[in-house]
Amino acid sequence: MMLNRITFLLFCAVLFFQSFGYSQGVTIGSGNAPHKSSILDLQSTNKGFLPPRLTAVQRKAIPSPAAGLVVFDTDNRQLFLFDGSQWLPLSAGSASNSITAAQQSLPAAELKTAGYFGADVAINETYAVIGAPRADSGTKLSAGAFYVYKKLNTGAWTQVAKKFASDPQEQAYFGMSVAISGNYIVASAPGYKSGTFYAAGKVYVFLKGAADTWTLQTSFTRATPAAAEYFGFNVTVSAVTTGGPVIIATAPYSGTGIAEVYQYTNRIWNYLQTLKPADLRTGDQFGFEVDIDKDYCVVSAPSQDNLTYNYTDAGAAYVFVYGGGAWAQQFKLAGTTAKSLFGFSVCIRGNLIVATAPMAPPYTNTTAAVYLYERRTTDWAMLTYIFLYNQQGYDGTNWLGISATLDNSYLMVSMPGGVLYHSGGSSYYSFKAGTVLVYKKNPEGNYFNLHKVINDNEAIAISSNQNFFGNSVGMKNGNYIIGIPYKNVNGVSGAGTVAFGFIE
């Protein structure tokens, strides 16, 4: 203890005499006079400044942090600054700034013309899943594949697995929809031919093993498949539902559309039930989008008419809750604008649901709208909605809300200028570069304010198709992934790429 005290006193003495000699500042290091603008000048030619190192939990637990406080977050591998109200990663800049996404593409040997790497993406705390539905499997064209990426301790993302269907078929588009939760990855092949039924669809479940391996656990088609219903058009999975892990797979082109629930019990994935509200009509496309969070799920029907107001294709989204061993409809969210395709993208996290309507400007000279709902006991009330004015440089051709996701207090919404469908074809696209908007919930919790604008890192020639930047987005604990499935990479047309980043 005596040595520690002596060391401390000597350190204080050095600071005192240097401070006394230079009056305006203190130098630690070489002993040169401190810069006149600095109160403390650390000088060295072979060493750096080492700030306090904390985990994300430790950082967030600092009581009453001072504005200007800086620490190094060992979980996210970057410096964080507290600006007086929130922690900001220094690499991302300040709030509301436009930033360029750091993009990552496949190795040159795997690039394929129109492979659509990034057509769908999903992310959890450590892993990201990226669908490439037009990838070839041997001689089978557009059989499809998905890739698994892992976040390293350095903060970089690296590929750890590539998976094909166990029974690849041409134009099955395996990887068109992907989902991840816990140790499960679910990927669909909506173009899969089942028996004589073309495009009946199939779903595959992969389980994480040792050393970042992912092994096929099971696969299934519908018990009564039909042609051109595209089973697995959208899939979602939850590893933490009360009744056990759950998968929901949809077939929106099966008459009115359906969503089938599968539950993992007795070490087997068993069919549990079919979700099909009583008020559906043929062509509603129920199951176009589906998302699950613990004991709640939301399923959209973007082509449903609003019969109350006689609005064609107003769209709807249905909320289901688990209890008593089954899922029951709890609430219905209805679109209120004709041809809005309300429910084109949906996401549920905790007490919030986001549902987008990319085809319907709510007012003149605005973009389409994104709606947020909050659970209040057994019903869901609109919390707020978001749109942009044309004067801000956006209009209806940006297609606000093609993809949206929620993460803690953040909302991420894309404006890719178009969308890729299960067939690998495109629709509703313009010649505009895509943009992804990140909103943050205000302290009162009743509104979301624009926090970040994420742009593509490459301008798009007016004569070429656009990249579909933001065709799909995912976000978890600040880590985000953006799918850019039509981007040209190293001269390969439509090879596709993804963008990783972090926002807090």
pLDDT per residue over 300-314, tens digit each? 999 999 999 899 999
Q: DSSP character for 92? A: G
Segment 350-369 shows an average pLDDT of 80
* pLDDT at position 163 over 70: yes
* pLDDT at position 244 over 60: yes
Least confident window among 8-17, 111-120, 193-202, 398-407: 8-17
Each as own residue / partner, the long-range contacts of residues 457-465 (CB below 8 Å, 24 or more positions apart, any chain) are 457/100, 457/101, 457/102, 457/103, 458/433, 458/487, 459/433, 460/431, 460/432, 460/433, 462/431, 463/431, 464/431, 465/426, 465/429, 465/431
Binned at pLDDT 50, 70 and 90, residue 84 comes out as: confident
Least confident window among 253-267, 416-430, 474-488: 416-430
- Residue 17: the pLDDT is 41
348 CB contacts (<8 Å, ≥6 apart)? 291, 292, 293, 296, 297, 298, 319, 406
Write the single-letter amino acid at 446.
N
Cα–Cα distance measured from residue 352 to residue 32, given in angstroms and rounded to the nearest whole number: 57
Segment 130-144 shows an average pLDDT of 96
Mean pLDDT of the residues in the chain: 86
Least confident window among 169-183, 208-222, 295-309, 442-456: 442-456
Segment 462-467 shows an average pLDDT of 56
The alpha carbons of the chain give a radius of gyration, in whole angstroms, of 25
* pLDDT at position 40 over 90: no
Binned at pLDDT 50, 70 and 90, residue 433 comes out as: low
* pLDDT at position 391 over 60: no
* pLDDT at position 32 over 70: yes
**Domain ranges, ordered by start, for the chain:** 1-49, 53-94, 98-502
- Residue 372: the pLDDT is 97
- Compute the Cα dihedral for 30, 32, 37, 38 and give only its sign: positive
Cα–Cα distance measured from residue 151 to residue 153, given in angstroms and rounded to the nearest whole number: 7
Give me 338's structure tokens: 């004709």
Q: Quick check: 501 and 475 in contact, CB under 8 A?
A: no
Q: Quick check: 236 and 275 in contact, CB under 8 A?
A: no
Cα–Cα distance measured from residue 14 to residue 224, given in angstroms and rounded to the nearest whole number: 82
Cα–Cα distance measured from residue 106 to residue 158, given in angstroms and rounded to the nearest whole number: 10
Of the spans 244-258, 363-377, 411-425, which averages the highest pLDDT?
A: 244-258
Least confident window among 18-32, 282-296, 321-335, 477-491: 18-32
The answer for 160, left when phi > 0, alpha when psi is -120 to 50, beta otherwise, is: alpha
Percentage above 70 pLDDT, the chain: 84
- Residue 278: the pLDDT is 95
Binned at pLDDT 50, 70 and 90, residue 390 comes out as: low
Segment 491-500 shows an average pLDDT of 90
Cα–Cα distance measured from residue 341 to residue 206, given in angstroms and rounded to the nearest whole number: 32
Task: Just give the CATH number of 98-502.
Answer: 2.130.10.130
Kind of pairing, strands 352-357 and 214-220? unpaired
Segment 357-386 shows an average pLDDT of 84
The pTM of the full predicted model, rounded to 2 decimals, is: 0.83
Segment 36-44 shows an average pLDDT of 79
- Residue 453: the pLDDT is 86
Kind of pairing, strands 98-100 and 479-484? unpaired
